Homo-oligomer: A and B are copies of this chain.
Amino acid sequence: MRRIEIYDTTLRDGAQGEGVSFSAYDKLLLTRRLNELGFDYIEGGYPASNDKDFEYFQKVAQIPLDRSTVVAFGMTRRKGLDVAQDSGIKSLLEAGTKVVTIVGKASAFQAEQVLRTTREENLAMITDTISYIRSQGREVIFDAEHFFDGYKYDSDYALTAVRLAAEAGAKMVVLCDTNGGSMPEEVAEITRKVVELLPVPVGIHCHNDCDVAVANSLAAVDAGASQVQGTINGFGERCGNADLISVIANLRLKKGYEVLTPDALRHLTALSRFVYEMVNMPYRNNQPYVGRSAFAHKGGMHVSGVSRVPQSYEHIDPQLVGNERRILVSELSGRSNIMAATAKLNIQADPKLLERILAKVVAREHAGYQYEAAQGSFDLLVKQCLGTFKPHFERLAYRVNIETESDGRIVTEATVKIRVGNEIRHEVAEGDGPVNALDAAMRKALNGTFPNLAKMHLVDYKVRVINSEAGTAAGVRVMIESRDETDSWGTVGVSENIIEASWIALADSYEYKLCKDEEREQQAREKVENVGASRER
């Protein structure tokens, strides 16, 4: 089966997405990572548009990259200007990359109405630019902007544009669905025509404005394209570019094409999350293949099926892409869900125990608790039922005070009194709000004994009013998400009082972290002992 090149433009097109921005350092980190996984091209930046990119291109030239080729991106020369005088082209060449990608308009409508030039001048802009860059000893990939719309508007002109680009020395022509408005069957048909016409390979670059960018990319490949351009997690302008994670997994696992390195797929989940962390954006839980919910089962029928026969509700083995199965405990739960969730915790499936856990979960859920996004609290609940939970601290009292100062400022102060072992810790802290102040005071009280708590931080919290007909007297459910260097976990608290509900969720988040770290240490110790024991043998 054919090898399909993967061209990553996360660092350029992806950076045009709202809220996305990369430092030069970020770009270098991601470049290394993509190189390890065998991405064929990395479009590192747009020198004419972004000064910061110059630093990136200088530094990346010094990194040994054995698999990926770094590419600089730029536009065709300006209309009416001599290419050698165009400052944008100068910056592009100064970036010093062996390969350069040039974008030019392949649509007569765009040339005349948007660029406000003649059809002929637009073609000259394309051929002049490519020839010039070739004369400077570089290779050129040509991005045919608005290709599909241009083809529908005037197919001869669009085909002429790409033909001339190839003749001027472009080593590949990439068909761009720039406005993202094309349907898969159109992309397939038009791509096929171009593949038949051109003597150079053809690539595809789709945008997700109609929710079919991945399907469009696959259709183009089946029609003969040999390169797909996109971004990790589908970042990009408007609705984003084609999500390379889905493209890669589909090309290999569904269609049998060769992509990246043989081992790369197992690293997709980690790569996806790495990029989210880098841009400080939350994971998309229902993201195909790599989302936290991608293999999470909730409906009772699904859970009982998948526990016995994974193919019953999973289209692939999650481990192929570095992901894992999760069983969600919820109001649709029954016995199978509890069994499966507890199986993860490596406890015996004792029926009486399961009944006890089930009864507790049902009671808590009636009170407003929800464990689906609160695996941390669920784990602690199971330990309590098992009788193996040893709390690390005991709450004695707390107080939170929020008041306005005479200048209108808000001051929030929390005090906590807890018992840790034989000692009573009594601490006070200020914060931006009540939960922040409580958290700060608790850490003061706990950090001395449990320094590992410094490695965890709270990343999100949600409040949901339950039985809201009671207005402000209704109960609230607070969900907190915490993270350390390796994991993330959710905890939950319910009360009429939002501060009390937050306390419960916070306390669970610390306990989960402390229990988790102790179990890891215990396992590490046992491993050492086992190794020692086998050596002796």
Residues of A at under 8 Å CB distance from B?
15-19, 21, 49-50, 75, 109-110, 113-114, 149, 178-181, 183-185, 208-212, 214-216, 218-219, 222, 234, 236-240, 243, 246, 249-250, 254-255, 280, 282, 284-289, 291-302, 305, 308-309, 311-316, 328, 330-332, 370, 372-373, 395, 397-404, 406, 410, 412, 431-436, 439, 457-465, 468-469, 471-473, 476, 495-500
Contact = CB atoms under 8 A, between A and B. Distances in A.
Contacts of A476: 433
Given A294-B238, A495-B410, A499-B433, A468 B460 contact: yes
Contacts of A498: 433-435, 498
B18 A373 contact: yes
Given A239-B293, A498-B435, A472 B461 contact: yes
Given A316-B181, A458-B471, A208 B286 contact: yes
Please state the number of chain copies in the assembly: 2
A410 B308 CA distance: 46
Nearest to A214: B211
Contacts of A184: 184, 215, 218-219
A341 to B, nearest CB: 13
Given A218-B212, A237-B299, A461-B472, A399 B404 contact: yes
Contact of A250 (B211, B314, B434): B211
Contact of A293 (B17, B397, B406): B17
A500 B312 CA distance: 50
B180 A434 contact: no
Contacts of A499: 402, 410, 412, 433-434
Given A218-B212, A436-B473, A49 B300 contact: yes
Contacts of A288: 180, 208-211, 239
Contacts of A179: 311, 313-315
A246 B209 CA distance: 9
Contacts of A287: 239
A215 to B, nearest CB: 3
Given A238-B297, A286-B208, A402-B499, A19 B463 contact: no
A238 B114 contact: no
A473 B397 contact: no
B403 A402 contact: no
A468 B239 contact: no
Contact of A463 (B180, B436, B462): B462
A1 to B, nearest CB: 15
A109 B311 CA distance: 10
A412 B434 CA distance: 13
Contacts of A400: 401-403
A40 B457 CA distance: 47
30 contacts: A16-B332, A17-B298, A18-B372, A18-B373, A19-B372, A21-B370, A49-B332, A109-B311, A110-B312, A183-B250, A183-B255, A184-B219, A210-B250, A210-B288, A211-B243, A211-B246, A211-B288, A212-B212, A212-B218, A237-B299, A238-B293, A238-B294, A284-B284, A399-B403, A410-B500, A412-B497, A433-B473, A434-B434, A434-B497, A459-B469
Contact of A458 (B238, B461, B472): B472
Given A215-B215, A432-B472, 14 more contacts: A18-B372, A49-B300, A113-B312, A114-B305, A114-B308, A210-B214, A211-B243, A211-B289, A397-B406, A399-B401, A433-B499, A434-B434, A436-B471, A498-B498
Closest 6 CB pairs of A and B: A181-B315, A215-B215, A463-B463, A211-B246, A432-B496, A399-B403
A271 B511 CA distance: 41
A173 to B, nearest CB: 20
B215 A212 contact: yes
A175 to B, nearest CB: 16
B280 A315 contact: no
